[in-house]
Amino acid sequence: MAPTKRFEGCAVLITGAGRGIGEATARRLAAEGAAVLLTDIDGERAAKAAAALRAEGLTAEAALCDVADREQTDAAVATAVDRFGRLDVLVNNAYSFHQDPESLEDVRDEDWALDLDITLTGALRCARAAMPHLEAAGGRGCVVNIGSVNGEQDFGAHAYSAAKAGLASLTRTLAGQCAARGVRVNLVAPGTVATPGWAGREASLQRAAEHYPLGRVGRPEDIAAAVAFLASEDAAWITGVTLPVDGGILIGNVGLRGALRAGRPRTP
């Protein structure tokens, strides 16, 4: 069955799109008719991903973009508008992640600052550059931020979690400010997703899956589908929301439930 063309005639810019969730989102939106600019701090990786989409008959271009650099974010938006003639959707997917050290005293200022700068401030830089063009989309413009369940509950990673929580707050404040300009702003909060960043740690993913009520970790395509919904006109009356796409992890505690049920007969 051919995909629905909800994005026919639309132009999309995605950050951190060289692989994982960003690449899957680019493929999903392009398959639905969008012209997509894949940006990444690794320009070669973005170019390879865009070439793969073009080989599938989809419309995709690539650009280098470090969202920590205002000049590069401004240039990426200008590139999208130059190549496609417009910009309708911005997907802020780029992030930085540093694992917590064993002791709080060993948290490094530079790691904390980088995670917040890329994950949170980078999204603001991109939204700021894109907003005039999103407004010009005549009510079609929208921003979809990629957050995390880490921004909703404690799953460790101080800086990354703080940045994702800040991104959820920024989503709400931007939604309130930009609604009058005809631009919607929403956020998708993924749970654990099997991306290339987990390479070599497949055993950890398998253990994590045991704690998800739906019995598995996420796939990049799960997140891409949610982004496609929030970016589409199917969500035309939705703004300022955080949509968990998390296999139920925020509403279930499999480990505790199992402990409490140990030795008890199953209820019908």
Catalytic residue set: 160
CA 156/CA 9 separation, integer angstroms: 41
CA 234/CA 226 separation, integer angstroms: 11
Nearest Cα residue to 137 out of 81, 98, 62: 81
Are 73 and 122 in contact by the 8 Å Cβ rule? The answer is: yes
